Structure 1
Amino acid sequence: MVLHGCAPGARVRLTHVTVPAGERLRLAELGFIRGAELRVLGRGATGGLFVGLGDARIALDTATAHDLHVSHA
């Protein structure tokens, strides 16, 4: 399933990322790597997501949230 389909409050584990290589590198620098545990904190007004990753809170746009594939943690 993709991260965008997860409801606020969900805890999921990142399985793979399908964004272009340059974006993938930036996401990896932020901690979005295979096996990372994410918490969906909420949805933005335009459809993006707020996620928790470790101690960080990160906003993702809709397209990026569709390109992050996850499984239940």
Structure 2
Amino acid sequence: MPSLNDSRPGTTVRISGIDPGHRGGSRRRLLEFGFVPGAEVTVIARGATGGLLVGLGATRVALDSRTADRLRWAR
């Protein structure tokens, strides 16, 4: 399954889940932000160091590349 890190700016994907090996507070934080299965996320921009700026509803969230790699989406 591809990760959010595989998406290009301008792409909208539907989150299918968070990598099962990713546990703890940061996983819970992603869920609290709304990165839940079925949520639509739009990649707005990619930073120079690989991080992503994404849109989740009316919210904009900056993710580092490691975190974006843990968010999975289905075609």
Q: Residue 15 of structure 1 corresponds to which residue in structure 2?
A: 16
User: Is the partner of 1:25 in helix, strand or coil?
Assistant: helix
* Offset at residue 41 of structure 1 (A): 0.2
Q: Residue 35 of structure 1 corresponds to which residue in structure 2?
A: 38
1:8-44 deviation per Cα after TM superposition (whole angstroms, max 9, x unaligned): 0000000010222321110111111111000000101
State the aligned residue count.
72
Where in structure 2 are the equivalents of 1:39-58 lying within 5 Å? 39-58=42-61
Q: Percent identity?
A: 47
The TM-score normalised by the length of structure 1 is 0.92
Structure 1: tracts of 5 or more residues without a match = none
The TM-score normalised by the length of structure 2 is 0.90
Residue 5 (structure 1) aligned with residue 15 (structure 2): no
Q: Residue 62 of structure 1 corresponds to which residue in structure 2?
A: 65
Structure 2: tracts of 5 or more residues without a match = none
User: Is the partner of 2:29 in helix, strand or coil?
Assistant: helix
Moved >2 Å (runs of 4+): none
For residues 59 and 68 of structure 2, what CA distance do their matches in structure 1 show? 17
